[in-house]
């Protein structure tokens, strides 16, 4: 972050300024020592000269005043006393400077002050000069700090980008799941055809069909009911139950020369008709109902128990057997309905759904050009003659 970098940069600059100031102070103290040492040597030389030439004048420092001794000084004892005092003052000054230097060294450390030990040939065991002849200075440390901060910032930015990407994917997944849940809730609670629907087959083909998406178990009896409105002579296959190896194991054929079971049903064109067919394996008896009334019945030895795994309202029929017209309210039970139940369905006083294949919008799909249309056969047939 920019604030951390500014703080480190300011700290490094303060450290550098402190080192420079302390180095300047050390140089000044060293010059003072040299000056005092020179004066001491001068005093010592003057003392020696006085012994040889008593008439020479000398000058010494005594406290804060300078005492001059002229050529007329007759006693050398006074001169010696003054010289001794000067030497004592110099010694105290030197000790004071030494203490100050040691204090500075303790504060800033030997690495910043022992500059004479940083040469390539130095024997200082604690400080080793690099091949270039100098240790990294404050500028080098500053540059290293800057590089590390930039590296950390880059890593942080990378992690932030990755986190944002993962969060975006997670949000997209949540939005998708939420949309799907809402779609399913809407589909389950609000049917596409609240008033009912019909399947329309406008022409005779072998590719138009409707499919009930239900897994059908093995059945030993069944009842199939459906509302039909045919358009061409009543010839067609309203529904078929197929399994692999037998495409039409169970069919309901009306008006075909060789049906599985002859159904003597008279279907009027363009009029809604309610048809039910039941069968049981126990005695092989089948019954056909039209308009709630039984029209025919008998035995069908060729019918056996229906194999599991088939689908209903299938297509891919022979085109000559295809239904042309409308179909609605197809329901399949795994039992034989009672005549009263069939009558209630035909009179629209019951809306019971098949326990094997119920007529719901969610379970029925259309293919090949067949269409779904919103319509209730019970309401539609009430305006016309009831068959």
Per-residue confidence (pLDDT) for residue 340, from 0 to 100:
96
Per-residue confidence (pLDDT) for residue 34, from 0 to 100:
79
pLDDT tens-digit series, residues 118-131:
444 444 444 444 44
pLDDT at 276 exceeding the cut of 60: yes
Strands 371-374 and 197-201: antiparallel
Crossing angle for the helix pair 138-189 and 2-52, nearest 10 degrees?
A: 170
- Higher pLDDT residue, 285 or 267? 285
Domain covering 2-135, topology: Helix Hairpins (1.10.287)
Query: Going by C-beta distance under 8 Å and a sequence separation of 6 or more, which residues neighbour residue 230?
Result: 236, 267, 269, 270, 273, 323, 324, 325
> Which SS3 state, helix, strand or coil, does residue 315 take?
coil
- Higher pLDDT residue, 71 or 226? 226
Alpha carbon distance 248, 311 (integer Å): 10
Per-residue confidence (pLDDT) for residue 211, from 0 to 100:
84
Domain 197-381 has CATH 2.60.120.200: yes
Alpha carbon distance 67, 4 (integer Å): 62
Q: Is 72 within 8 Å of 55 (Cβ atoms)?
A: no
Q: Per DSSP, what are the bridge partners of residue 218? A: none
Domain layout of the chain by residue ranges? 2-135, 197-381
Query: Going by C-beta distance under 8 Å and a sequence separation of 6 or more, which residues neighbour residue 315?
Result: 206, 207, 208, 209, 210, 211, 367, 368
- Higher pLDDT residue, 262 or 26? 26
Per-residue confidence (pLDDT) for residue 148, from 0 to 100:
80
Alpha carbon distance 348, 262 (integer Å): 27
Lowest-confidence segment of 135-139, 212-216, 375-379 by average pLDDT: 135-139
Strands 58-62 and 65-69: antiparallel
Alpha carbon distance 236, 262 (integer Å): 13
pLDDT tens-digit series, residues 53-112:
444 443 433 444 444 444 444 455 666 666 667 667 777 777 777 777 777 666 655 544
pTM over 0.75: no
Backbone phi and psi for residue 200, each to the nearest 5 degrees, phi listed first? -115, 130
Per-residue confidence (pLDDT) for residue 57, from 0 to 100:
40
Backbone phi and psi for residue 94, each to the nearest 5 degrees, phi listed first? -65, -40
For the record, the structure tokens of 109 come out as 């450390």
User: Whose structure tokens read 């049981």?
Assistant: 280
The helix (H) or strand (E) run that includes residue 374 is strand 371-374
Strands 273-280 and 58-62: unpaired
- Higher pLDDT residue, 220 or 4? 220
Per-residue confidence (pLDDT) for residue 293, from 0 to 100:
92
Alpha carbon distance 282, 296 (integer Å): 19
CA distances from 123 to 126, 272, 364 (A): 9, 116, 96
């Amino acid at each position: 972050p920019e604030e951390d970098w500014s703080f480190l940069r300011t700290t490094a600059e303060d450290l550098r300024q402190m080192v420079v100031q302390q180095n300047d102070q050390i140089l000044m103290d060293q010059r003072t020592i040299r000056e005092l040492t020179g004066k001491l040597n001068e005093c010592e030389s003057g003392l020696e000269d006085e012994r040889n030439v008593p008439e020479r004048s000398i000058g010494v420092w005594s406290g804060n005043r300078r005492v001059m001794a002229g050529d007329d000084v007759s006693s050398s004892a006074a001169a010696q006393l003054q010289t001794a005092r000067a030497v004592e003052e110099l010694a105290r000054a030197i000790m004071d400077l030494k203490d100050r230097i040691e204090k500075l060294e303790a504060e800033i450390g030997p690495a910043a002050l022992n500059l004479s030990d940083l040469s390539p040939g130095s024997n200082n065991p604690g400080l080793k000069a690099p091949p270039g002849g100098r240790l990294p200075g404050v500028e080098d440390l500053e540059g290293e700090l800057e590089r590390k901060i930039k590296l950390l910032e880059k890593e942080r930015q990378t992690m932030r980008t990755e986190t944002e990407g993962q969060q975006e994917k997670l949000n997209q997944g949540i939005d998708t799941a939420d949309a799907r849940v809402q779609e399913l809730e809407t589909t389950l609670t609000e049917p596409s055809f609240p008033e009912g629907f019909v399947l329309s087959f406008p022409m005779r083909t072998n590719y138009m069909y409707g499919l009930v998406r239900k897994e059908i178990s093995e059945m030993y009896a069944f009842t199939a009911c459906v509302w039909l409105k045919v358009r061409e002579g009543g010839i067609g296959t309203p529904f078929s139950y197929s399994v692999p190896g037998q495409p039409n194991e169970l069919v309901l054929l009306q008006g075909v020369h060789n049906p599985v079971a002859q159904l003597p049903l008279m279907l009027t064109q363009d009029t809604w008709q309610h048809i039910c067919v039941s069968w049981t394996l126990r005695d092989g008896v089948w019954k056909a109902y039209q308009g709630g009334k039984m029209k025919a019945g008998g035995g069908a030895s060729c019918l056996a128990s229906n194999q599991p795994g088939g689908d209903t309202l299938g297509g891919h029929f022979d085109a000559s057997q295809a239904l042309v017209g409308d179909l609605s309210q197809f329901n399949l039970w795994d039992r034989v309905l009672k005549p009263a139940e069939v009558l209630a369905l035909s009179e629209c006083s019951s809306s019971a759904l098949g326990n094997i294949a119920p007529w719901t919008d969610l379970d029925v799909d259309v293919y090949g050009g067949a269409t779904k249309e919103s319509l209730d056969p019970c309401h539609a047939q009430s305006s016309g003659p009831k068959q």
